[in-house]
Amino acid sequence: MATPTVSPTTSAPPPPEAATTKRKGIRRFVDPSLLVMILVLLGVWALVSRFTPAYAVPPIPSVAKELGTMVTDPESIASLFTTLARVLVGLVSAFFVGGVIGVSMGMNAAASRLLLPPIRFVQGIPSLSWVIIAVIWFADVEIRVWFVMVLVTLPGFALQVYDSYRAIPSDLRDMARSFRPARWSLFREITLPAITPGIFTAWKVNLGLGIRMVLIAELVGATVGVGAQLLTAQQLFDMASVISWTLLLAVCMLVLQAVIELIESRVLRYRPPVTDQRQARPATTTPKV
Amino acid sequence: MTTQIDEPPVIRFTHVNKDFPGHRALDDLTFEISRGELVAIVGVTGCGKSTTFGLTLGLTEPTSGEVRVSGHDPYTEFAWFRRRMAVVFQDPRLLPWRTVLHNVYAGMKFAGVPKEQWDSRARDWLTRLGLGGKEDVYPHTLSGGQRQRVSIARAFAVDPDLILCDESFSALDEVTSVALRREFVDLVRDNNKTGVVITHSISEALTIGDRILVLRPPGHLCDDIKLPVDPGPAELEELRARVLSQMTPQVGAADSARGEA
């Protein structure tokens, strides 16, 4: 079995420097243009609030005070976490059911023919219709919210997984099949890694959708949750509270998005770095006439 | 060549026909390949090389006739060929989400090699193919030649009886292609494997095989050439002309006419 060791004749060129350059200092964490935009918005808000009543545009200090109260008030924190828990439970349920449906449709043409039309039909139903249907069908608030969340986000998961499955290169499948793999090995080594980027995309899209939907669902009948708190604030014309809850929820969503992106960057670390096309483009010269 | 008397051929095609809608891909194809042989199947585009490859792999079944690999039907007894057959494809088909080492693991995992053997076998083959130190990098950081080496390591790590190559060296530059071809031939011979190389390149067929099977559209065998050991330049040129004339009779006829004139 003695075989000569042969050195590779060629090696890949190193990636362009622009692709690997990292931002330094505070710019690693905050995009300067975003910081400027936030400062401009705050300036406009401060200016407008000087000339409008507080129930329409409250001054920044009163909103800041309201925010401070919220993050230290156990009842408010409970409302926030209840809403976030409803979002996550709904999304996880929709992900598992949608994922199974998506993979089944990808693996089996008959399942695709059977399931694709109802999935597309469900996707076409307005979210508000599901809220009304849930109110009529279910007395329990938790079930109502869960039902709405699942029905609204499930088609996104199912279709994204289905499309990712269909995009798996047949070359890879044939390669694997040439070794005569067990079904589970094929799923674990080819199918699952190939559909994972699509799953992350679906999560990022559905997270925003889920947070918007849970508020609408909570407006109807819930006594705990950000939606219920917003309804109370609206009835009291308490604009500072409305803005504070909205900001708090937006920040939570940004944090959750960041967590998903962090997991995504870890799981998909095999992907080559994105090169900045502006830097990669060769310099062009305009001919002088 | 290590052919043994009474041992059944590793590959046997008996009057195989394969029809696709609108055309015949293989027409009464009959040949045998014995254990330990390294055979090149050569022909122009559309001559049935890939169909022959697919039938040998068991990815498709013949319309009529019989295909046997080690005495078994590769289509109906698909699972029997686990660990008995491996393929090096034209493009390396590496899993982009796995490191070089785990790509070699993947082949063994698919083939059902016991897990405790994966690491030693994978590292051994990667080292033999000059990829020691590249175990933990991802495929996109490798050159085309290195990627193809990984796919060769993946095939050999399974320790199959039969190795099939489908135009495996044609997408590489000339220098890398020649070096890899030489390595492949050495690996097949040193490890006592049976090798079948599908190619459209006559020079590749002449440098690789013990035998050359020449196919001509629509998929029938028009020549079966046993290559001499270490042929000289004149002999090689003669063989090249013979293969070319069989692959494309009109070119061969024109050359003959020019020679006679």
B172 CB near a chain A CB, below 8 Å? no
B135 to chain A, any CB pair closer than 8 A? The answer is no
Q: Which of A40-49, B8-17, B87-96, B199-208 has the lowest mean pLDDT?
A: B199-208
The label of the residue with tokens 């329409």 reads: A56
Q: Please indicate whether, in this complex, the C-beta atoms of B96 and A270 are within 8 angstroms of each other.
A: yes
Strands B11-20 and B23-33: antiparallel
Q: Residue B81: its chain A contacts at CB < 8 A?
A: 180
pLDDT score for B18: 92
The answer, for B87 touching chain A at a CB cutoff of 8 Å, is yes
Percent of chain B with pLDDT over 90: 39
Condensed to tens digits (0 to 9), the pLDDT of residues A214-230 reads 998 888 878 889 999 99
Give the H or E element holding residue A193: helix A192-219
Helices (H), B58-159: 100-111, 118-128, 144-157
Closest approach of B141 to chain A, Cα-based (Å): 6
On whether the CB atoms of residues B227 and B239 are closer than 8 A, the answer is yes
The closest alpha carbon to A6, from B192, B226, B182, B253, belongs to B182
Token couple for A193: 């890694």
Contact A9 B158 (CB under 8 A): no
The CA distance from A70 to the nearest CA of chain B, in Å, is 44
pLDDT of B144 > 80? The answer is yes
pLDDT at B167: 83
- Cβ pair B110:A179 closer than 8 A: yes
Is residue B216 classed as helix, strand or coil in its secondary structure?
Answer: strand
Nearest-CA distance B106 → chain A (Å): 7
* A89-106 b/e (C-beta count within 10 Å ≥ 16 → b): ebbebbbeebbebbbbbb
DSSP notation for B220-249: EEEEEEEPPSS--HHHHHHHHHHHHHHHSH
Q: Residue B219 pLDDT > 90, yes or no?
A: no
Structure confidence at residue A157 (pLDDT):
96
Least CB–CB distance from A189: residue in B82, B106, B190: B106
In this prediction, residue B261 carries a pLDDT of 44
In the predicted model, is pLDDT for residue B119 greater than 70?
yes
Q: Does A184 touch chain B (CB under 8 A)?
A: no
Distance between terminal CA atoms of chain B?
41
Instruction: Compute the half-sphere exposure of residue A270: CA atoms within 13 Å on the CB side of its CA.
Output: 20
Phi and psi torsions of A55, nearest 5° = -70, -15
pLDDT of residue A8: 45
User: Are A248 and A67 contacting, i.e. CB atoms less than 8 angstroms apart?
Assistant: yes
pLDDT of B40 over the 70 cut:
yes
Q: How far is A187 from chain B (nearest CA, A)?
A: 11
Q: Tell me how far apart the alpha carbons of residues B100 and B94 are, in angstroms, rounded to a whole number.
A: 8
pLDDT score recorded for residue A4: 42
Spatial separation of the C-alpha atoms in residues A265 and A89, rounded to whole Å: 23
* Closest Cα in chain A to B192: A1
CA B134 to mean position of chain CA atoms: 26
Q: Is A11 on the interface with B (CB under 8 A)?
A: yes
Note the pLDDT tens digit of each residue in B169-201: 877 777 878 888 888 888 888 888 899 999 888
Interface confidence, given as ipTM, is: 0.82
Q: Kindly give, in sequence order, each residue whose CB lies less than 8 Å from that of residue A94, ignoring residues fewer than 6 positions away.
A: A149, A150, A153, A154, A156, A157, A206
Residues 6+ apart with CB under 8 A from B200: B42, B43, B44, B45, B49, B167, B170
Compute how many other C-beta atoms are within 10 angstroms of the C-beta atom of residue B198: 24
Does any CB of chain B come closer than 8 Å to the CB of residue A1?
Answer: yes
pLDDT tens digit string along A97-118? 999 999 999 999 999 999 999 9
Mean predicted lDDT score pLDDT of chain B: 86
Residues of chain A with pLDDT under 70: 1-30, 275-289
pLDDT value of residue A13: 47
Nearest by CB to residue B95, choosing from A4, A189, A271, is A189
In Å, how far is B251's CA from the nearest CA of chain A? 34
